[in-house]
Structure 1
Amino acid sequence: MARHLVRVQKKRRGDVRVILGSGCETGSGGKCTRSERAQARENSREIRRILKNGKVPVRVCGKSCLVGRDGKRGKIMHAKFFLIQKGSDRKVVQTSTNFMDNQMRHAQDLIVVPDRGLFRFYEQYWNRMWKRQWGSWGGSDARRSQFGSANGTVGHAYPRVGRDPVIKVLNQVNCAGKGRVRLINSDPLLRGKGASKRKYLLVSVLNRLRREGCDVRVITKDREPFGKVRTRNGVIHNKVLLVDARFDGQQRKRQLVFTGSHNLRSDATRGTSDVMLRVERPWVYRQYVTYFDQNLWKKLGRKS
């Protein structure tokens, strides 16, 4: 990837800039060993060397690029997206993958959104990460969530000052007339700092939606208790929420896709540089729900 970016810089003579995280995000056993952390540091140094030799400006965030609610930087820079501009075309490329060889063995997703308003939001967030300052976005979440140009497109930037937008989204779902809710998350949801509150907020709302008539299913990396909500687990790295139900007080059903790099953890919400994207396009929803139901849910349910 680094060498390809260098080639783009030389061929296009364009403005290619890169923000990198450093350190080990997730090790083979869920936590990084000393050797895995050392290897991650070595990989980061090699990537920086390639980019700098290719005259590609690079900024490294050893921790979160931006401070959280407590005024401190979280553990990692976790955002994974590209911004591509060519002439009047502007595209946001949002993914869950870290672009490492071992990540290719995990379930991942990537979406390309040609939306000028969304591009502007992402660019403003990227510039803040580059400068390591919130600027006019500091102090509250008011400008950390913004609509794009297309109907139903929204970007959510992290870390947040208040509650995770995902909880607000789930509380806006109305299961009258039935509906579907699908959640994929690769990080342990019910462990770590703030686990008890997160369990109450997330598990309770998912079970309420199930009782009200929605077909609710959850896929996580590890086995975790979700009350009576149906769950399966496997080798995944996606962070996806799918909603097919009445939403935000409207009587008609809406089909929403939320995806990005954000894990549903309190420390991720309040201390990690991340982005979550909402897209409201039926054909995009169909792709994602088919991926969930056919590619993941069915296969994870098979006996080995």
Structure 2
Amino acid sequence: MRRAAVLAAATGLVAGLSLVTAPEAGAVDEPVAVTATFNDPAGSAAEQDAIRNQLISLVNRSPAGSEINGSIYLITDGGVRSALVAAKQRGVKVKVIVDGDAVADTEPETGKATGSEYSALAAATGLGTDLTADSWVMACPTTRGCIGNRSLSGGDGGAINHNKFFLFSRVGSSDNVVFQTSANLTTSQRRNLYNNAVTLPDSGSGLYAAYRGYWQDLQTYGSSGSGLPHYYQTQDSGPYKTYFFPRQEKTGTTYATDASTDTVVSLLNNVDCAGGTARVRVGMYAFTRPQVADKLVQMKTAGCAVDLLHNGEDGNLGTTVKNTIAGRLDYTARCAGNALNADGTSRTIGIHSKYLLIEGTYLGGANRKLVFTGSHNYTFPNLRANDETLLKIDNPTVYDAFKANFEAIKAGPHCTQW
């Protein structure tokens, strides 16, 4: 399946780790706060499940007559599936788009059960698959993403719908809420990997409309036609900015050589490192784009402080990237520590988060505190082929929550400096 190829190609704020049990459906009619949520894969069950519990809470608080629109790469979480189906049963319109990799009940190569919840969602007792109905689940074509249709060289396996967001027309007493996470809805993402999420009420910013338009394009292109090699769209929405992929390189270049159309490089170009007061922190699952590595080293040389936490799984840090950054950043750590299971066995704890934190002068504005997060890894498939979202958040309190998460992971036992 393409999920294996993806890994090969990768060669007012409430912030906290845990949440109380999701409230009874329809029981809470309170406004939604701007929320940053982080799981702790080595912590208690509640700490491990913090992100999925936040999502379930939002689903459970969606009233009859409202609409939930989701786009997720993989879903094996029965709790989320049950919450979505229960929402439909009480009169919420629930429409979910998954990647084609989420469909199979068994792996074709091994016959091993995938644990996918797609069949349960697609059943008549779930959401169904009739796109003319009020509720449904739709899978992108098996050979591409819903929009992205490009296959890069090197056996990347082709484009996927790598998105991880849910949109709520109403939650409690708040209209138009966006939930964006780095996590797929799987057990391994909760138990083995650090992830992050944000819950953002629109509050007149236009953020919900930007996501909703993109979600509609995912549905439209994913249900007919052959997709697109280039889609890249951005939109400023108050304190937010969205970047939707795939983004094609300029004519006359190759997908792997055009730094001018690498969105992350462009964002880093906006940072003023003069004076030595700016700091960049990167928490990243997969990092294989040399141009981003080059830019981080340039920023360090120019006076910025640059810290990186990366996942320790083989292939997640590209060889060229590793050689470029070795000894040239302020702090670099590989996250692949061990934690004990209840039965005494151990599991590897890594990082699946995808965030860039910028503190300092940005686009000429001093003392900025910015978060860039979403589904976007620093790999070429994420930039050039996949359906992906990158979200800019200009909110100092959200920034402080992400910074605290970064520093906690950095100081913890599961990431080793090198």
Interval containing the TM-score (normalised by the shorter chain): 0.7 to 0.9
**What is the alpha-carbon root mean square deviation over aligned residues?**
3.0
1:231 alignment partner in structure 2: 332
Residues 245-300 of structure 1 deviation map (CA, whole Å, 9 limit, x = unaligned): 2111x151211000001111112211111111100110000000110012x11114
Residues 35-79 of structure 1 deviation map (CA, whole Å, 9 limit, x = unaligned): 3x85338543344336335983111013311035679x9432110
2:184 alignment partner in structure 1: 98
Q: Which residue of the other structure, out of 158, 164, 167, is the alignment partner of 1:80?
A: 164
**2:146 is equivalent to residue 65 of structure 1:** yes
SS where residue 98 of structure 2 aligns?
Answer: strand
Structure 2 residue ranges without an equivalent (≥5): 1-79, 250-260, 336-349
Q: Which residue identity is paired with 1:157? A: F
1:179 alignment partner in structure 2: 278
SS where residue 160 of structure 1 aligns?
Answer: coil
Q: Which residue of the other structure, out of 365, 368, 373, is the alignment partner of 1:259?
A: 373
**2:108 is equivalent to residue 10 of structure 1:** no
* Conservation of the 8 A alpha-carbon contact between 1:156 and 1:275: yes
1:27 alignment partner in structure 2: none
SS where residue 132 of structure 1 aligns?
Answer: helix
TM-score by length of 1: 0.82
2:343 alignment partner in structure 1: none
Structure 1 residue ranges without an equivalent (≥5): 25-31, 191-197
Using the TM superposition, give the Cα deviation of residue 221 of structure 1 relative to its aligned residue in structure 2, in angstroms. 0.8
Q: Which residue of the other structure, out of 247, 256, 275, is the alignment partner of 1:160?
A: 247
SS where residue 23 of structure 1 aligns?
Answer: helix
C-alpha distance in structure 1 between counterparts of 2:108 and 2:357, whole Å: 34
* Conservation of the 8 A alpha-carbon contact between 1:158 and 1:275: yes
TM-score by length of 2: 0.61
Moved more, 256-265 or 205-214: 205-214
1:44 alignment partner in structure 2: 118
* Conservation of the 8 A alpha-carbon contact between 2:243 and 2:389: yes
**2:356 is equivalent to residue 241 of structure 1:** yes
* Conservation of the 8 A alpha-carbon contact between 1:69 and 1:161: no
**2:201 is equivalent to residue 114 of structure 1:** yes
* Conservation of the 8 A alpha-carbon contact between 1:80 and 1:261: yes
Q: Point out the structure with max Rg over C-alpha.
A: 2
Aligned pair in 2 of structure 1 residues 251, 121: CA closer, same or farther (>3 Å)?
closer
* Conservation of the 8 A alpha-carbon contact between 1:219 and 1:232: yes
* Conservation of the 8 A alpha-carbon contact between 1:258 and 1:278: yes
Higher helix share: 1
Alignment of 1:281-300 (within 5 A): 281-294=395-408, 296-299=409-412, 300=414
What percentage of aligned pairs have identical amino acids?
A: 26
